A = this chain, B = another copy of it.
Amino acid sequence: MSTYDLTVPAFLQILGALSGILSKADAHCKAKNIQPDVLLSARLYPDMFPLTRQIQTVCDFAAKSCARLTGSEVPVTQDTEKSFAELGQRIAKTIDYVKAFKPAQFDGAETRDITFPIGPSNQMTLKGAQFITGFAFPNFYFHASIAHGILRHNGVEIGKRDFLGVK
């Protein structure tokens, strides 16, 4: 499998699904007269990221992983989103960014050394293949799943099909 086929469609599927999930959460707030910030700032535990940061992190793992695998400049984001609409725009921009990569840009990425930060002061180097399966994917899916879990925990009516982006 080419590294492009392995990564880009997977990122796009879950980003698109998350966009749909956030629309349902927004509609849930309107229907139940819930202030959106109650959900946007919800966490599963006090020292875990709130929903907004989970979504921002999913976007970053998709965008930055594509950048690192292709040797492109790693995009810097400001994380200023404060509403469902703004988070939707962040996801849309991330989808556009990921979609703009061409398959050829990923040629040879599986054997290339990828150096990336882990935590605030360390970095690690892995071959592209290990970077994808050992770091990029588990982190990307983790934050998407926890975002879904936060909304489920708060009563938003979404299910596994919403997580997978299946109609």
- Looking at A4-12, A23-31, A78-86, the stretch in contact with chain B turns out to be A4-12
Copies of this chain in its oligomeric complex: 2
Asked if A105 is an interface residue, CB under 8 A from chain B, the answer is: no
| CB-contacts of A126-167 with B (<8 A) | 129-130, 133-135, 137-139, 141-142, 145-146, 148-149, 152-153, 155, 160, 163-164
CA distance A159 to B45 in the complex (A): 11
Q: Are B129 and A142 in contact (CB under 8 A)?
A: no
Asked if A48 is an interface residue, CB under 8 A from chain B, the answer is: yes
Chain A, interface SS category: helix
- Count chain A residues whose beta carbon lies closer than 8 angstroms to a beta carbon of B: 33
Which A residues have a C-beta under 8 Å from some C-beta of B? 1-3, 5-6, 9-10, 13-14, 44-45, 48, 110, 129-130, 133-135, 137-139, 141-142, 145-146, 148-149, 152-153, 155, 160, 163-164
